[in-house]
Amino acid sequence: MKNRVTDILGIEKPIIQAPMFWLTNAALVSAVSEAGGLGILGPNAGQKTVTASPEETAEGMRREIQKVKAATQKPFGVNIIVSDNYDTDIFTPPMLKVITEEHVPAVSYVGKANKEIFDLLKAHGIKIIFRDLEPSAESAQTAELYGADIIVATGFDEGGTLPSKVLGTFSIVPLLADSVSVPVLAAGGITDSRTVKAAMALGAEGVYCGSVFIASQESQAAENVKEAIVAAEADELLLFRTVPAYYRSLPGELAHRLLAMDKAGKSEEEINSLMKGTSNMRVGMLNGDMDQGYVSVGTGISLIHEIRPAKEIVAALLADG
């Protein structure tokens, strides 16, 4: 299936695998790219332990990039999460250095559009897939003006850090598609060919999928987490407020405590303190401790019925497409 997304990224199918923090690695990313989509390495791709060192984090990414290059000749991407206060952002500069030195074909850029960074990426021929955590027509238009090649329209159906506006994927997609001239990807709740077709009908030219690839054979997620995703339904998910807005999780001891704190009127900061930001997501999803950690997924999990190779997932998303 060829369109503007495949032409821009040099891929065969407009299926983009979301970076997902700890859960990606070279095996998953290269498998998605080999299948014709675009695999993307997350910030801690291939890693098992926590480091507070920006340089060590960046060099870990370099090693994983080189593993991807050894496994596939096809395009892939790397995720960068840019702080609103870029002047004090200690992680992004060394990551950008690695990305440019390793000639990474594409970047999944998360945060507010920064023209300085966009100019740097464009100067190195790197394609920019822009995703604002608080998507809006205005931010999409700014990103397009600065040089974004593709815009991600992220709906409240997603896993991970949820937007503060409770606007579903199938509302935000046409809103952004009608506001920019560059192609738009739908993100949030996209887990089978029906949801892909629906997204395309609303103006998306591709999809940006996370949860469905957590349940892939190549994903770094713990096996019990993959099995729990396959067994779960969307209406079992627990939604609670936290910094910066909302998170949702499969049921577990910690998730129930976080929900109870929300219902008791505790502040987002207090809830986030117990949640420990994304640290306890690593405990839940990478280590498989679903009581001491949490398992963040999107509402499309009801459509995930088995643990499959990434190649089969890519093919299934475009079945009859």
Q: What residue ranges define each of the domains in the chain, with the CATH number in brackets?
A: 4-219+303-317 (3.20.20.70), 238-296 (no CATH)
Over residues 87-115, the mean pLDDT reads 94
pLDDT of residue 321 exceeding 60, the answer is no
Given this model, what pLDDT does residue 278 score? 81
pLDDT of residue 205 exceeding 60, the answer is yes
With cut-offs at 50, 70 and 90, classify the pLDDT of residue 260.
Answer: very high
Residues 6+ apart with CB under 8 A from 255: 238, 240, 249, 294, 295
Over residues 205-224, the mean pLDDT reads 97
Over residues 288-312, the mean pLDDT reads 96
Residues 6+ apart with CB under 8 A from 40: 16, 17, 18, 19, 24, 29, 76, 77, 78, 79, 106, 108
Given this model, what pLDDT does residue 49 score? 84
pTM for this predicted structure: 0.96
Given this model, what pLDDT does residue 148 score? 98
pLDDT of residue 178 exceeding 70, the answer is yes
Given this model, what pLDDT does residue 4 score? 98
At 133 the three-state DSSP class reads coil
Over residues 284-303, the mean pLDDT reads 95
Given this model, what pLDDT does residue 88 score? 82
pLDDT of residue 122 exceeding 70, the answer is yes
Given this model, what pLDDT does residue 85 score? 82
Question: Is the pLDDT higher at 51 or at 9?
Answer: 9
With cut-offs at 50, 70 and 90, classify the pLDDT of residue 156.
Answer: very high
Given this model, what pLDDT does residue 21 score? 84
Given this model, what pLDDT does residue 28 score? 98
In contact, 28 and 17? CB cutoff 8 Å: yes
In contact, 234 and 299? CB cutoff 8 Å: yes
